[in-house]
A and B are shown apart, each in its own frame.
Chain A
């Protein structure tokens, strides 16, 4: 079986969010970049677990982005990917990225394409569905469990107010979230091995762009907390009813 894991890069969860160039660009100065947590903790680790069960499985990584992403790609390889592909571009349009991923997925005839549930910077939550439609394959979002039985995937996914178990033939695109696997940290052997694992770079294919980020703004700061003395909590209830109209 061949698995393609989509790896995206996001600012560290504690990074200061600020903008430059007249609020049209994210200020990257001093920002620590990490693998998007859902991609690392759930999509990648589950792929590695499937390989551990069936050593004939190949786990390949794809990242669509610039050369400064190579550190996070190496980290993903250190966790256990066999090889990686980076598509060189600075473009952020999700449909543009989806076309690049879909091309690689098609050419490599992957059985499974795994993404994270969403990127924590763009919060698109759409990449898997875009890729699946371009490939004309099934897509299951927000998966919490994945097992492979022959040429069928058995997947649990979150639904509103519960969980559903689905089965789908392969190939399949899946977005992964909590439950799918337990986060791991790379060990020394993995880190050493990752240095020599293949990392192929390809040019992006041109795609017509549909959207772009025109500007960014920071939300206005809260006016400040109204503190209520601990010995009169009923006052809080009164304010929530009459002032905030929240209960």
Chain B
């Protein structure tokens, strides 16, 4: 019996969220006495045996499969891998890939499915995990009654911890399904740190008056290795691209730092960011609702405060 962790990679690196999922899977395997096995699909130059340092003993690698955008074919591959090691639990990260494929795998394995899990399972009474609901306004404990389960782990919900170890890498025998999905074009938003993966996020609202004033947001983001985001009002006004919009109807994020400048903190905005570890709010209105959800705040004019903050970060080095 074992735990299978589906692991994403890009440009020769295993993604951070996948390392979190690996450590999470290893923690479950350790307490249940199962083996933690990683599955990597597609060609990569990453050194997969080094994943042993996170506590996995085995890596299954399927380099010959390349239709990563085809959720149907992907699920067929992962299903075979899970069956080949009699997996009781299959773990994904709650990323675009996890959301697209994990439910399909659950159906194939006749497994219970929970997305966006934020806690280790409580197995004192069956199998129970926590997840955020109501867009971060509440947490629910979900009881999984089936003998197998598929879960996606919320990014930033589990610490990565590394020790020593080398994993055995093998290429399992898997029937590669044909694909009917064709990739016609890929457009990368180059340079910038992808918002969904970012550890720190600097975000601007309508208080910044116009797109021409985003220089200070970008500069602070660059200095702190952060991604940039914005409120819906800003995206709707086309000051910033739509993929930067966070909140109830945009992206939900939970970085270590969410730094909001000139954003009022409407409930729909909060729904996407209230899971951030540290929230900083810069707003000239002391009554702005955002201050109620913030850890640190400055009541002041962004145009006066931000240059000084940027200067102070530069001096810190």
Contact = CB atoms under 8 A, between A and B. Distances in A.
Contact of A230 (B111, B197, B300): B300
A13 B250 contact: no
Interface of A: 11, 13-14, 17, 19, 37-38, 41, 94-95, 98, 120-127, 129-130, 132-134, 136-142, 144, 154, 157-169, 178-179, 209-219, 222-223, 225-230, 233-234, 236-241, 244, 246-247
Contacts of B245: 178
Given A160-B10, A226-B295, A13 B134 contact: no
Interface string B264-292: 00011001001001111100000000011
A120 B267 contact: no
A236 B274 CA distance: 20
B139 to A, nearest CB: 5
B249 A139 contact: no
A237 B306 CA distance: 11
A157 B94 CA distance: 17
Interface stretch (B53-61, B64-72, B156-164): B64-72
A17 B138 contact: yes
B49 interface: no
Contacts of B308: 233-234
Given A141-B71, A164-B185, A244-B257, A13 B108 contact: no
B200 A247 contact: yes
Contacts of B242: 144, 178-179
A165 B184 contact: yes
Contacts of A17: 134, 137-138
A167 B182 contact: yes
A123 B257 contact: no
A124 B115 contact: yes
A228 B135 contact: no
B141 A237 contact: no
A161 B10 CA distance: 11
30 contacts: A13-B248, A13-B271, A14-B267, A37-B249, A120-B134, A120-B248, A123-B134, A130-B104, A132-B71, A133-B107, A138-B70, A138-B71, A139-B100, A159-B69, A160-B10, A160-B95, A163-B186, A164-B69, A165-B186, A166-B184, A167-B181, A167-B182, A211-B142, A212-B143, A213-B140, A213-B141, A233-B305, A236-B296, A246-B278, A247-B316
B102 interface: yes
A211 B145 contact: yes
A132 B72 contact: yes
- Interface-centre pick from B10, B138, B311 (highest chain A CB count, 10 A): B138
Interface stretch (B36-44, B187-195, B203-211): B187-195
Nearest to B185: A165
Contact of B145 (A126, A134, A210): A210
B85 interface: no
Contacts of A212: 142-143, 145
